[in-house]
Amino acid sequence: MYYELATMTLPFGSAAAAATHVQAFCTAPEAQGELLACWFTDIGQLNQMIVLRGFADLATLAAERARTQHSASPFGCGELFQSLEQHSYQGFPWMKPVRPSAESGISGPVYEIRTYGIKPGGVQATIDLWAQYVPPRERLSPCVVAMVALDGPLRFTNIWAYPTLDARSKARADAVAQGIWPPKGGPAHLTTDMVSTIALPTAVSPLK
């Protein structure tokens, strides 16, 4: 499964209007891929809308990227956003594809989006370690997806769902106390370039 994470920086107070435009753009008859989530940031860099789309193959992702880039109003928000970034990813091969909450049963409403830089040669080791450690970690909270970037700096992004911020803190503390997280040896493959964002679903988000 392939994914795109698009991030728009929006003027204060425009999130509701932007989300409606995003939904219309991503579900238009000519659109390819699937809208999986539309979040707005709550902790981290503020006033950002993060859109997750899924694609069956790279060709479909590339075609939709071209449609977006050639649009006079990308995501229907050309007159709203102050900046737009789009990044392509491939899901870790052992992970189930991301599905909407109604199908997967995974829901927030608190989502943590974490991106880690990876050292050269560390991609496969990271994928293998996560395959071993994510199942016990998911007994505490579900991992929506872990995916390797296909463009830009070498890195991977992982997204976790929690019912509350307090539940997030407890799950992370319990994972460390039980020795099931972080994956043993995993940090050795990572750089110090690490970013964490807490985001909440907008009204149009299939992941709730």
Task: Kindly state the tokens that stand for 21.
Answer: 């435009």
Residue appearing with tokens 């694609």: 55
Residue 32 pLDDT: 96
Residue 15 pLDDT: 95
pLDDT band at 205 (very low <50, low <70, confident <90, very high): very high
Task: Determine what percent of the chain is predicted with pLDDT higher than 70.
Answer: 100
Distance CA 8, CA 76 (A): 11
Average pLDDT over residues 90-105: 97
The CA R_g of the chain, rounded to the nearest whole Å, is: 17
Residue 126 pLDDT: 97
Give whole-number Cα distances, 208 to 33, 111, 158, 159, 163, in Å: 19, 9, 17, 13, 10
Supply the pTM of this predicted model: 0.95
Residue 17 pLDDT: 96
pLDDT band at 19 (very low <50, low <70, confident <90, very high): very high
Task: Tell me how crowded residue 111 is: count the other CB atoms within 10 A of its CB.
Answer: 26
Q: 196, 133 in Cβ contact below 8 A? A: no
pLDDT band at 154 (very low <50, low <70, confident <90, very high): very high
Distance CA 135, CA 86 (A): 30
pLDDT band at 29 (very low <50, low <70, confident <90, very high): very high
Mean per-residue pLDDT over the chain, rounded = 96
Average pLDDT over residues 32-42: 98
Burial class, 45, CB count within 10 angstroms (exposed 0-12 / middle 13-18 / buried 19+): exposed
